[in-house]
Each structure stands twice: as C-alpha cells, then as structure tokens.
Amino acid sequence: MLQNDQLAEWDRENFFHPSTPLGQFARGELSNRIVTGGKGVYIEDREGNKLLDAFAGLYCVNIGYGRTEVADAIAEQAKELAYYHAYVGHGTEASITLAKMILDRAPDHMSKVYFGLSGSDANETNIKLVWYYNNVLDRPKKKKIISRWRGYHGSGLMTGSLTGLELFHNKFDLPLDQVVHTDAPYYFRRDDLSLSEADFVKQCADNLDALIQKEGPDTVAAFIGEPVLGTGGIVPPPAGYWEAIQAVLNKYDILLIADEVVTGFGRLGSMFGSEHYGIKPDIITIAKGLTSAYAPLSGSIVSDKVWKVLEAGTDKLGAIGHGWTYSAHPISAAAGVANLKLIDELNIVSNAKETGAYFNQSLKDALSDISIVGDIRGEGIMAAVEFVKDKDSRTFFDPADKVGYQVAGALLERSKVIGRAMPQGDILGFAPPLCLTREESDTIVAAAKDAIESVAAKL
C-alpha cells in the first residue's frame, strides 16, 4: 500500500483529470479526493469519509456500489476469456447474450445493437451510420445533424459539437459545420414568461420547422436529443414536446436519435425514456446504466428501417468500414449481462418509479418556500433545483457568484452528500442509484434543505 501523502502528490504531478480546472488542481488549490470503496448508495474515501453519492458517480452506478454478482461475473469472464474481438462475425457467449437481452427490452421496432465503450463513441458511431444510410439511399446532401442547445452527447469532435454547452465548444474550434442547434425544451428558462407550456411546445416545434426550412430539408439528416435533458440542467420536457417534435421530423424524413445514455435501463422509472415519452427513435444510444458502470460499455441500437439500408449498403460495398478493437469486450459484456439480470431481480425499474416519485415530491415539499429556489423539477430518480435571485421576476444570479457550486459545496461539507452543480446555470442536480430507499431519500432532502438555507443566508 502506498503512503497516502505520496499518492496525493503523484496525483497532482502526473494525472490529467477530465473536466477539471487544470492549473488550480496541479497547484493544490483544489482538493483531491481518492476514492477507495463503495457500498449501496455510499462511497468512501481514503480519509475515512463516508459520502452519500446522490449522483451515482456520473448518473451511471444505477444498481449501487459493491454488487458482488457483477464483480464475480467480471472475474469469471476474465479468467475464462479476457478478450476476443467481434470483427467478421466473432462473438462470445456474453456479448451475444447481452445483445439479445438489450433487444428484448428495447422498443419492438429496434433490430440490432452495435457495441462501443462510451456514450461519446456510441454517438460518433450513430452519426457515421446516419451518413452511410443517406449515401446508400443516394441522398449525398442530406448530412446535417440538429441537436439542442444544452443537449449533452459527449465530448469527441462530432459529439462535442452535438453537445450544446459553451464549455465544450470554447477554444476547441467546435461545433463542426455539419451540426446545427435548436431550442432546448426548457420551459422554466423561456424568454417570454407569458407563454403557457402548450404555447412553448408549439414555439419549439415551429422554430425547428423554420430551422429545417432555412437549412434546406434535403440537407438535414437527423435530430438527436435526450428524452430528459441531462447535463444541460436535468430538464424534463413539457407535455406534448416529443409528439410535436416527431411530427416535424416525419414531415421532412429526418431520422431521430434518442440519446438514452442516462435514461436507458430505468432512470425514469421505465426501461427506456423512449417508452416513457412515446418516442419512436431510429437509433437509440445506450451506455452508463447498461453495466451500471462496473465496466465500460455502450451501444447503438438501430431500428429495422435503418438496418435494412445498412444491409443493402454492405451487400453492395462490402464489410461496414467501422469497428473498435474493444467493441463488445467480453468482460464488459459479462458485466452487462449480470447487471441487467440484477435490475430485473431487484425490481430496480419499479423502485426508480416509486422512490423517484417520493424523492421528487419530498424535494418540492421541503424546498419550495426557500427564497432562492426558483424551480424544482424531475422525473423518475432524477431531479434538479434551480436557484434565482428573485422568484417573482425570475431574475437569475450573476454566474460569477457560482451559487450552484456554493450549494453543492455546502451539501458535501455539511452533510457528506454528493449532488452535482450542473455546468450551465445555478442548478443542483440529483441522480442517485436506482436502488435508493425512502430513508436515503429523506437524508438527501434534509441535506439539500440545510445546504440551500445556509447559502441563502450568506447571499
């Protein structure tokens, strides 16, 4: 075992951490946390702190930490066969079984799953498939992808472009030309406060229609969206949003990619967000909840309609020119099989629905009267609290005050509960493991009330 002080030093000297202010971290102005263990909804660090992780890592440890069933499946697979590739028809029992389990749970019109390693690479795959699809159909101009402001789809070149958050574009020369952004379905932040929800939905659909007309319908290939906006602020769509959007896409023969990296496998209290909102996607992106992050794995589930064209393309052109060395990695696939079995055995999806409803209602009951709480919203086991300077006029705080970060900091310091300050706006996000109990929910809600009140008193 290494000396603790040495480990912290090595961390600052050698480790390039993602999504981190690099200089502050290297200079020691930002504390490091070295995580050593986890059980249920709790993690532990080497200082001996036990923290309630109310964001399930990065909304991914859906079955909770420390499930030996998944760990054992990983160990068995590693001993039996740690690796073989999936090119040219090769597979393993785990990868084939997992593909079947995914399709058994996915909407009926879905046909096949391509495996990747991360949500980002799955969305890169999706865009390549959309372009291939339109080339096979002899529509070489139909290539642009419409995404939403505040959408999050990864941080690669294409996926960072699809992501509609400034932080992921600035100084990276993104977005790429083929990506166009449209409105976020974010009713609380609507420009015109007099709009009803129904008016706002109509405005989103009309603006999308106008954007497609402006770009030229024969140049627009696909629309990508998360059933519930995640990293952009945890924003469930207003009623009727997905129906209105799909009507516009159908009018112009534009494919729909449902990015279910967060919502897939139960987070909304339904197996898929598509099922939850009546979305009929052409491609579904999955990752996080597929293995509950016990091993890296993602997938692109393609519909019958897309698959038929891909098949016709390769019949003419030869093997699909796309593949990763680690696609369908047996160890990750074994983790996926064990994870999906546990989700069924533990009734995780219905718990997400029931405990999620309790959690969301408790947040509303406890926090609505606090002066800086402007909005409390959520769906399934996902929730956000948004802070404002003035409720009546919906005046936001100066971003420089970093109110969201202050609240997340107070939550951690005062109650050892991890929430997430969402990157754009003063928003405290929650997405605990789906095995959350009512008692744990009460702990989170009490901690949130205490943290918000303590920050409000200082402002």
Q: Find the shortest distance in angstroms from Cβ 123 to ligand PLP.
A: 6
Q: Find the shortest distance in angstroms from Cβ 27 to ligand PLP.
A: 27
Q: Is the peptide bond before 227 cis (omega within 30 degrees of 0)?
A: no
Q: Find the shortest distance in angstroms from Cβ 213 to ligand PLP.
A: 28
Closest residue to ligand PLP in the complex (CB): 119
Q: Which is nearer to ligand PLP, 152 or 326 (CB)?
A: 152
Q: Find the shortest distance in angstroms from Cβ 42 to ligand PLP.
A: 22
298-303/110-116 β-pairing:
antiparallel
Q: Which is nearer to ligand PLP, 167 or 198 (CB)?
A: 167
Q: What is the token pair recorded at 191?
A: 């420009």
* β-pair partners for 283: 257, 302
Q: Which is nearer to ligand PLP, 30 or 58 (CB)?
A: 58
Q: Which is nearer to ligand PLP, 121 or 209 (CB)?
A: 121
- Chain residues in the site for ligand PLP (CB under 6 A): 58, 118-120, 123, 152-154, 226, 230-231, 259, 261-262, 287
Q: Find the shortest distance in angstroms from Cβ 431 to ligand PLP.
A: 10
Q: Which residues contact 104 (CB under 8 A, 6 or more apart)?
A: none
Q: Which is nearer to ligand PLP, 119 or 236 (CB)?
A: 119
Lookup result for tokens 């009951």: 365
234, 273 Cβ separation under 8 angstroms: no
Q: Find the shortest distance in angstroms from Cβ 71 to ligand PLP.
A: 21
Q: Which is nearer to ligand PLP, 119 or 432 (CB)?
A: 119
Q: Find the shortest distance in angstroms from Cβ 162 to ligand PLP.
A: 9
Q: Which is nearer to ligand PLP, 77 or 298 (CB)?
A: 298
Q: Find the shortest distance in angstroms from Cβ 365 to ligand PLP.
A: 28
Q: Which is nearer to ligand PLP, 324 or 396 (CB)?
A: 324
Q: Find the shortest distance in angstroms from Cβ 46 to ligand PLP.
A: 25
Q: What is the token pair recorded at 251?
A: 């009018």
Q: Which is nearer to ligand PLP, 300 or 362 (CB)?
A: 300
Q: Which is nearer to ligand PLP, 58 or 309 (CB)?
A: 58
Q: Find the shortest distance in angstroms from Cβ 18 to ligand PLP.
A: 9
Lookup result for tokens 């007099």: 194
